Amino acid sequence: MRRRAVLGGLVALGAAPAAAQEPLLTYAGMTFRSHGKDIRAIHYRPLGAERKSAIVMMHGSGGRIRNDGPWHDLAMQFAGDGYEVLTPLYTDAWPDDGIRPPAMMEAWRDVGEHAVDWFIARGIDRRRTAMFGYSLGSYVAVDGALGNSRAAAAIGLAGGVDVYTPRAPRRRIPVLMIRAQNDTHVLPRNTDAWIDFLRDRDVPVREHTIVGAGHLFRPQEWVEIFQVSAQFYASNVGREIR
């Protein structure tokens, strides 16, 4: 497996999930363009057994991307499961000042949209593209996927209406909301409010609770997150091509 040193920084998500064996994949740092700006990312690719499907992963508040830590390990697991993956540093489009005006949120959502477009331009069918987001990134990923994006499915991890007020969806793609039972940062009732908001507008939302988890996940909880997410993606964007 070829590895290359990529962007520095930390992803403050908790400890890395355990891996049973080294997956067959490659990854490298790269950039793509969003509204004239270079967006740094890591591109992960499976080596063999590709699903011809792609996932764009949007990090949480204060997140960075590098070839280490739980965010990297989760991307590695998705790639090992046959998906191409991009992990954009979406704050390259607009640095986070903590106030987050609507134009900033739109710029971040557009990064996800343009990452999906990048995959489509490389030959991935739009019906086989998906979003994944954690905390603040869950809003960026899911709200963006239900807006102007061409992504065909989305997962929100540890997100809720206290992150940002969701917009009325323009699209009705499958969504999975993964909640942390003991989350004190994004309160469970605010995850419920987001789920209810989407279901009331006919978005097909599934939900899963990580029992005993807080906002920062432990190794065994990251394993569960991958397993549940992999099952969800396999039922839509990762289905076998016949």
> Which amino acid belongs to residue 22?
E
Q: What is the DSSP string of 70-129?
A: HHHHHHHHHHHTTEEEE---GGGSS---SS--HHHHHHHHHHHHHHHHHHHHTT--GGGE
CA distance 106 to 117: 16
Whole-model pTM: value is 0.90
Per-residue pLDDT 10s for the chain (242 aa) are 333 333 333 233 333 344 445 558 999 999 999 999 999 999 999 998 899 999 999 999 998 899 999 999 999 999 999 999 999 999 999 999 889 999 999 999 999 999 999 999 999 999 999 999 999 999 999 999 999 999 999 999 999 998 899 999 999 999 999 999 999 999 999 999 999 999 999 999 999 999 999 999 999 999 999 999 999 999 999 998 76
Helices 102-121 and 136-145: crossing angle in degrees, nearest 10, is 60
Domains of the chain: 25-234 (3.40.50.1820)
